[in-house]
Every structure is written in structure tokens, then in C-alpha cells.
Amino acid sequence: MATPQGSSTQNNVAEALNSASFSPFHLKAMFASAMGFFTSAYDLFIIGTALVLIKGEWHLGAAEVGLIGSISLIATFVGAYVFGTLADRMGRKAIYGLEALLMTVGALLSAFAPDVTVLLIARVILGLGIGGDYPLSAVLMSEYANVKSRGRMVSLVFSAQAIGLVTGPVVALTLLAAGVNHDLAWRLMLGLGALPAAAVIYIRRTLPESPRWLARVKGDAVAAGKQLASFSLGTATATVQDKIVKQPLSRYWLTLLGTAGGWFMFDYAYYGNTISTPMIMSHIAPHADVVTSTALSLMVFAIAAVPGYFLAAFTIDRVGHKTLQMLGFFLMGLMFLLIGAFPLLTQSMGVFLVLYGVSYFFAEYGPNTTTFVLAAELFPVNLRTTGHGLSAGTAKVGAFLGALVFPILLHDYGLHGTLMITFFFALAGLLLTAFCIKEPAGKSLEEASGEDVVVPIRKNTPAGMTPS
């Protein structure tokens, strides 16, 4: 039978998705997913600027500052584990949108916090939502995508973090330049994070279930076929039932070491640096006020970080997902090494900003993007959100440690000693990537994860006999 022109009819749902054309549905899904990462970036990083004000208003010590700045990250670890596990068991759609609701509630409660205890509770709620957003948004986008543009589509979702990174300092500068009272200013900074999350709760609840999960985990070929035909506008259809996938997590321990371990190493460096950037700037320019240090942070993000995100999105499928991660770790780490080992380089504000900016560029054009993408590709469909959740959650333990100890390290060892330690984390991330991760670029999710490979079960047999 002839296939209609433009159709991507294949043997099963997975093959149909692998070659399905980019459609308006993908744009809707990308927007719904991307707004979560805009929110998470804004909420997680605005706290660094807000803390400069809160510290003065509430007379906080270094330990309290570190705890407020990092508590949402440890909650993110819990949220990623819990939501990731549930999504593999119950389906992606069953819980998609609930994490956006948690982000909304957490941001609003942060804005109205009367004391440290309530602020910590609010940041925990926020972190649970952000943690859930990582595996759900990443995996849904990867499972909707085709082979050719999967890396680009998932990376573009994550690149919304760049806009969130820039928006935070812009909001802070606007409020501070307008002379808004500091107590009101930090509350507005934190509360505005509720708006983008609230805007996509309904859209997320209306997105279809992943056809891959329906067909290959639940075994519901009829529902999978309907969802597939619906979002592809009838251009992708399946004619045969997919095989049910029941791979054990134990088979993927090396992959998990690479995705979770590499992401842990990166997030220690990245979140420690980013949340503490206003403090780092005060070390370089000790006489600068909060407006000046915030403006310098914005300059680094806008000039160095943002281009890295989008260049990664549009080159990742050509360069290679693993290759790009290794390149980013190497050059990011090199910048930390130069700053840490050669203090003379940072006596000039201009030289420091160039080196620090280059480290940010290669963080984005590298592991900040690729860790998110790789963890959504390398695990089988029955464990995909679990594997991503375990990876993202473990990463946020690293982020928690970075955000918690960076203020302490800066105080005890100075900027150079702190970034020298960070260099070794980047080196460890490079090695974990090199030895534990396989390159998934140009492969289908089924090939990249090896989910269709049947692993023979060995039976114990008496000596001298061979198994039948």
C-alpha cells in the first residue's frame, strides 16, 4: 500500500516518533517545558541577590546565609527522585503540572515569609517542584522528539534557563535603582517567580501522554496510536505493537555513574559560583555597592552565559552530546585553574571578568546543557524518568554543597583557593564523562539506551554440564 506524501508511517510507535516531522505540537510542548526552566533558573539564582538584602535586614550569619541559599537545592534532590520514580510507574502526564503548582506556591510563600523558618519552608516547597520538573520536562521532550533534532529540542527547553538567569539581575537592578525599600525589594524578587510557573500549569495538564510510555511500558497500543496521530496531525502512525520494555536498573549502573556523577561535579561548581556571584564580585571589587556587583553579575550572564546556551542547542547534534560535555568540562575547568593558580590575573577587574566569563560560556556550551540532555537519552523507557530523576537529584546534592560551602570557602580560603577546589570538580566531571557515558547523538532513544537488547539470564548449573 502506498504511503501518503509526508507520512512517516512505520512499524511501531517508537519508529514513527523517531522520524516524525517537527510540528506545531512540538512548539507547544517546548514552551510548556521551557517555562519551567525559566522559573527554576530565576527562583534558584535570584536568591543570591536577594540574600545580600535579606542578610542586612535580618542580620544573618554566614551559616544562615548558606542554608537559605542552598535549602531549595536539597529539596530539588528529593523532588527529582520522587517525581522521576512516579512518572515511570504512573505515566508522565499523570503528574505533569503538579510540580509547576509547587513552584508557584513556594515562590509566593517566599515573598510573604515573616522570618527565617518560614522562608526555609517556602524554599523547600519550591525545590520539590523544581526537582520534579527536571525529569518530567526533559523526558517528555526527548520522547516526543525525532532522532534528527532531539538534542536541539531538549537543549532549547533547557536554554530557557538562560533567560531566567538574566531576568533575575534585571529585576533586582530595576527595583534597587528605583529606590524600592530593601525589605520590599527582596520580597518582590522572590514572589515574581510564581508568575511563569502559574502560567503553564493548565497547558501542562493538557499535553498528551508520551506515546512511547503508553506503547512500551503500559502496553496500550490503541491509546499510544491515538496520541501519536493526534499530536503529529496524522502524519505519524503505527501499524504494529511495540515490544514491552522491562529493563532492570542494575544493568545501567555505569551509565548512572556517568550521568549522576558528572552532573554532581558540574552542579557543585556551577551553583556554588552562580549563587555566590554577588559575593565573588565583592571580593574583586570590595568597595562596590550591591547595585554595582549585581550589574557585573548581569554582564557576565548576558555576554558569556546566554550565547553558550543557544549555541549549544544549535550545534549539539552535530558536535555530539558526549563530545560537547567533555569540551565544556575541560575549558571551564581550565578557567578555574587559571584564576585559582595565578592570583595576579585577577588583580585586574577586566582580566578576571574575561576568565570568569569564559568559564560561564563553556559551562553553558557544555555540561550545563548536556547533562540535562544525556540523562534523558541513555536510560530505557521503563526507567527513563527514574534515571533522569536519580541523575538530576544527585546533581542537586552537589549544587546544595556548592551553595552551602562557597560562602564559607570564600571567607576561609579566598577566591583563588575556592576556585582551585572547583577546578578538581570539573576535572572529575570530565573523567566520568569520558569513561562512563556512550555517545547517543544520531541514535534513536531505543539504540542509545539499548532498551531492546535482551540480556540472557544465566542459570547455575552443576560442574561439567552446560546449560540447555
3-state secondary structure 266-317: HHHHHHHHHHCHHHHHHHHCCCCCHHHHHHHHHHHHHHHHHHHHHHHHHHHH
Torsion angle defined by CA atoms of residues 126, 132, 138 and 140, in that order, rounded to the nearest 10 degrees: -130
8 A C-beta contact, residue 361 and residue 304: yes
- Greatest alpha-carbon pair distance for the chain in Å reads 86
Asked if residue 138 lies in contact with residue 445, where contact means CB atoms within 8 angstroms, the answer is no
Q: Cell digits for 435?
A: 569513561
Pseudo-torsion of CA 303, 306, 310, 316, nearest 10°?
A: 90
- For residues 284 and 120, what is the distance between their CA atoms, to the nearest angstrom? 30
Please report which helix (H) or strand (E) contains residue 400, including its range. helix 384-436
The DSSP code sequence of 191-221 is HTTHHHHHHTHHHHHHSPPPHHHIIIII--H
CA angle in degrees (0–180, nearest 5) for 283-289-295: 85
Rounded to 5°, the CA angle 26-28-32 comes to 115
Per-residue cell: 166: 538574566
Q: Which residue has the cell 571578568?
A: 353
pLDDT of amino acid 282: 66
Rounded distance, CA 456 to CA 441, Å? Answer: 27
User: Which residues does residue 10 pair with via DSSP β-bridges, in sequence order?
Assistant: 238
Report d(CA 152, CA 329) in Å as an integer: 20
Mind listing the pLDDT tens digit of every residue in the chain (468 residues)? 333 334 444 468 888 888 888 888 888 889 989 988 898 889 887 887 888 889 888 988 878 887 888 888 889 999 999 999 999 999 998 899 999 999 999 999 999 999 999 999 999 999 999 999 999 999 999 999 999 989 999 999 999 988 988 888 889 889 988 989 989 999 999 999 999 999 889 888 888 899 999 999 999 888 888 888 777 766 667 777 788 999 999 999 999 999 999 999 999 988 777 766 666 766 666 666 767 777 777 788 888 888 999 999 999 999 999 999 999 999 999 999 998 898 887 778 788 889 989 999 999 999 999 999 999 999 999 999 999 999 999 998 998 888 778 878 887 888 888 889 999 999 999 999 999 999 999 999 999 999 988 766 555 544 444 443
Q: What is the pLDDT of residues 253-298, one digit of tens each?
A: 999 999 999 999 999 988 777 766 666 766 666 666 767 777 777 7
- Chain mean position to CA 126: 15
Q: Which three cell numbers stand for residue 25?
A: 505540537
- Whole-number pLDDT of residue 359: 92
**DSSP SS3 for 10:** strand
Instruction: State the CB neighbour count (10 A cutoff) for residue 120.
Output: 17
- List 238's β-bridge partners, or say none: 10
Rounded to two decimals, the pTM is 0.86
pLDDT at residue 234, as a whole number: 67
- Quick one: 250 exposed, middle or buried, by C-beta within 10 A (0-12, 13-18, 19+)? exposed
> For the segment 115-124, what is each residue's pLDDT rounded down to a tens digit?
999 999 999 9
**Cα–Cα distance measured from residue 438 to residue 68, given in angstroms and rounded to the nearest whole number:** 37
Q: Is 454 exposed, middle or buried (0-12, 13-18, 19+ CB in 10 A)?
A: exposed
